[in-house]
Structure 1
Amino acid sequence: MTSTSAPAIPAPSRSAQSRLLLLAAVLFISYLCVGLSLPVVPVHVTTRLGLGNFWAGLAVGIAFLATVLTRATAGSLSDRQGPKRAVVRGLAFYVAGALVAWLAGLWIPTPWIGFGLLVAGRLLLGLGESLVAVGVIGWGIGLVGPARSGQVLALVGAAIYGALAVGGPVGLALLERFGFAGAMATSALLPCIGLLAVWRLEGVAVQPGAGRPSLRSVLGIIWPHGLIVCLQGIGFAAIGAFFVLHFRGQHWSHAGLGLTAFGSGFVLVRILFGHLPDRIGGLPVAIVSLAVEAFGQALIWQAPSPVAALAGAFLTGLGCSMIFPAMGREVVRLVAPQLRGTALGGFSAFQDLAYGLTGPVAGLLADRAGYGGVFLIGAGAALAGLLIALRLRSVARA
């Protein structure tokens, strides 16, 4: 693995590029199901259910933990039966999870029954996210080729975090107008649009391959890159779970703009610089990105005003944007074609692990040290990822 410039990559056909863009659009519309819920769930848990920050963080994080536990299965399904089947099944789980969460908003005989139903819906949502993300990535790489894997990952990330940027304020607006049940009913409709769009879309062929090693052996190859993505993900998870509560605790307005600021920075970098991992290599991109993320998290931690905190969220988005495609590009190059789904599933699980654990752990910290300390942890994690990336680069140059 090197970080030198790659030779010119042949352009994909117009048909393949068009289908890739359609997949990104489907992912954006469907992922609004996740984006709507992120700021809404902790508010629902702490206000209507009357539970503490730990439980609010757990309700957010449990979906990502479900994704962690199912990434290997999702990757194997994509490798063996084709990525289209993974996408269709995942969208169906999105709908089911949102409907269960909708029921949790309608029927709350006790706070703990309401919380249990909410967790069940979040688990289904996490399973859906695992299947859809791995499936769309595998489908996209199958369309345009592994040499453009960085471009595929950048486009997929732009769709996901664009949905988070739009979904945050829309979710809070729906919560204010229609309540939690209304927000969840809306989120159940969106993946149905995705299902209609992909139902007749032609899939890609399953890659042949006699030898399929275990997930453990694949993780033994890719774990340093996955660890970088895990440490990067803590900053986003902190914003997703606690930015709104941090603003409310400071009595600041415009709390719903936190995910918008993050997502705007994220998508901006993906659009302008999404080609860089394929052109100059993943590690140089990751090193700069992690430094920017660390600064953004530190700015939220020390922010004296809502404008400064929103600027920190924007910088965090700028920094987080290219780390996943940069490291994912390296992962794709390290494994055989028939193992891409399994490798990307395991690789993505590192990020899901950060999302799943940050919520409850940071919730305990917030109960004791306030919400600001959560973002200090995010800054420290980004700096740790930066050190690992620098180490990998020095080994590659040796």
Structure 2
Amino acid sequence: MTSTSASAIPAPSRSAQSRLLLLAAVLFISYLCVGLSLPVVPVHVTTRLGLGNFWAGLAVGIAFLATVLTRATAGSLSDRQGPKRAVVRGLAFYVAGALVAWLAGLWIPTPWIGFGLLVAGRLLLGLGESLVAVGVIGWGIGLVGPARSGQVLALVGAAIYGALAVGGPVGLALLERFGFAGAMAASALLPCIGLLAVWRLEGVAVQPGAGRPSLRSVLGIIWPHGLIVCLQGIGFAAIGAFFVLHFRGQHWSHAGLGLTAFGSGFVLVRLLFGHLPDRIGGLPVAIVSLAVEAFGQALIWQAPSPVAALAGAFLTGLGCSMIFPAMGREVVRLVAPQLRGTALGGFSAFQDLAYGLTGPVAGLLADRAGYGGVFLIGAGAALSGLAIALRLRSVARA
């Protein structure tokens, strides 16, 4: 596969770059809703509601499953009506989901009614995340051009995982101080700031196209790249859903720093090496990244101390960081311009699938083998993704 030199790609205008940074800031603010809830939801389910690890994992994962089921719709909406409309609608769903979850924290006549309300809020949050993320990606590529799609995806990921790094400890602090309802009330306010920021921001033109093939035909082109992202996402999902519970089970302190360690490594690589997929191609970047992620997950699995476990989370963040933009850059190159939203929506759904399934499946595993085994599964998944990436690389060279 040939690579485009970074110096040969025209630089975007200062105005376009500024709007792209504003969109990344909006994504960061909105995704704090996800970051706040990741460590808070399983603690709420297992302590306040008194339910087991499977239900805690399901409550976390159901939002990502909702995102999986709506990515194609979000991408199609972005392609047909423009990414701005997708972003605005997504932010509104974020607010609605946080308010329903807030009600779930206030009104718990029975554990199962409280759990049902929580799940309803998580489903709305998942729909909001789907629309905002796909919309911001399409909007950003429309601003700076497809040749810089890797950098757009890297910036988007830095915003998302930066929010996760901040949101984890902030969510636990809010839980300790104001309870679950207080944390969800804060989550409802954040997307409102995003709505104010984008309301008067100029959108980008819808790309013309003669025909739009089915999602199935698009997935037939991009599925190997999506599968790599899916396997990569299992490691992050394991940290998001079970790192805090793993620390509590070991009687270790500083459990809230797991997502911070992951997010710090993630953002560090994005800021230093976000240009690499556009410069040298996505597959070489993914191959190195998956190897690092596998090592980080294995380190958490065998960690004898909290410091070692946090180091494993940091290494997992380093490894996960560039896989999504690396594979996304390849996806953008494989489809026509009018199909970018649909393709990226389907592509992103693979990652959401990992997030959605890991929670409940890993919860069942944790009930039987302890929390450490969850991270062994994450290491194996990363190694499987590495094997697929090496295969795609060998085919590209042939």
TM-score, normalized by length of structure 1? 0.99
Unmatched runs of 5 consecutive residues or more in structure 2? none
Tell me how far 1:278 sits from its aligned partner: 0.2
Tell me how far 1:54 sits from its aligned partner: 0.1
- C-alpha RMSD over aligned residues: 0.8
CA–CA separation in structure 2 for the residues paired with 1:8 and 1:234: 36
Residue deviations 1:60-114, cap 9 Å, x none?
0000000000000000000000000000000000000000000000000000000
CA–CA separation in structure 1 for the residues paired with 2:237 and 2:211: 36
Tell me how far 1:30 sits from its aligned partner: 1.2
Q: 2:99, 2:184 within 8 Å by CA — same for their partners in 1? A: yes
Q: 1:5, 1:281 within 8 Å by CA — same for their partners in 2? A: no
- Secondary structure at 1:136's aligned position in 2? helix
Residue deviations 1:280-337, cap 9 Å, x none?
0000000000000000000000000000000000000000000000000000000000
Tell me how far 1:47 sits from its aligned partner: 0.2
CA–CA separation in structure 2 for the residues paired with 1:254 and 1:93: 32
Residue deviations 1:24-58, cap 9 Å, x none?
01111111111100000000000000000000000
Q: Residues 278-293 of structure 1 correspond to what in structure 2 (within 5 A)? A: 278-293=278-293
- Secondary structure at 1:254's aligned position in 2? coil
Which residue does 1:384 correspond to in 2? 384
CA–CA separation in structure 2 for the residues paired with 1:246 and 1:299: 14
CA–CA separation in structure 2 for the residues paired with 1:6 and 1:108: 55
- Secondary structure at 2:351's aligned position in 1? helix
Tell me how far 1:2 sits from its aligned partner: 3.7
CA–CA separation in structure 2 for the residues paired with 1:195 and 1:219: 32
Q: 1:164, 1:260 within 8 Å by CA — same for their partners in 2? A: yes
Tell me how far 1:8 sits from its aligned partner: 1.4
Which residue does 2:50 correspond to in 1? 50
CA–CA separation in structure 2 for the residues paired with 1:276 and 1:40: 35
CA–CA separation in structure 2 for the residues paired with 1:5 and 1:301: 40
Q: Which one is further off, 27-36 or 122-131?
A: 27-36
CA–CA separation in structure 1 for the residues paired with 2:208 and 2:160: 30
Which residue does 1:365 correspond to in 2? 365
Residue deviations 1:201-241, cap 9 Å, x none?
00000000011000000000000000000000000000000
CA–CA separation in structure 1 for the residues paired with 2:5 and 2:166: 35
Tell me how far 1:5 sits from its aligned partner: 5.0
Which residue does 1:342 correspond to in 2? 342
Q: 2:3, 2:278 within 8 Å by CA — same for their partners in 1? A: no
- Secondary structure at 1:197's aligned position in 2? helix
CA–CA separation in structure 2 for the residues paired with 1:118 and 1:295: 35
Tell me how far 1:7 sits from its aligned partner: 6.1
Residue deviations 1:108-158, cap 9 Å, x none?
000000000000000000000000000000000000000000000000000
Q: 1:161, 1:267 within 8 Å by CA — same for their partners in 2? A: yes
Which residue does 1:32 correspond to in 2? 32
Q: 2:4, 2:278 within 8 Å by CA — same for their partners in 1? A: no
Which residue does 2:300 correspond to in 1? 300
Q: How many pairs were matched up?
A: 398
Q: 1:3, 1:282 within 8 Å by CA — same for their partners in 2? A: no
Q: 1:166, 1:260 within 8 Å by CA — same for their partners in 2? A: yes
Tell me how far 1:391 sits from its aligned partner: 0.2
Residue deviations 1:249-273, cap 9 Å, x none?
0000000000000000000000000
Q: 1:3, 1:283 within 8 Å by CA — same for their partners in 2? A: no
Q: 1:215, 1:342 within 8 Å by CA — same for their partners in 2? A: yes
Which residue does 2:238 correspond to in 1? 238
Q: 1:102, 1:181 within 8 Å by CA — same for their partners in 2? A: yes
- Secondary structure at 2:226's aligned position in 1? helix
CA–CA separation in structure 2 for the residues paired with 1:252 and 1:5: 47
Q: 1:63, 1:125 within 8 Å by CA — same for their partners in 2? A: yes
- Cα distance change, pair 3–373 in 1 and its aligned pair in 2 (3 A): farther
CA–CA separation in structure 2 for the residues paired with 1:302 and 1:49: 31
CA–CA separation in structure 1 for the residues paired with 2:364 and 2:2: 41
- Secondary structure at 1:47's aligned position in 2? helix
Q: 2:221, 2:334 within 8 Å by CA — same for their partners in 1? A: yes
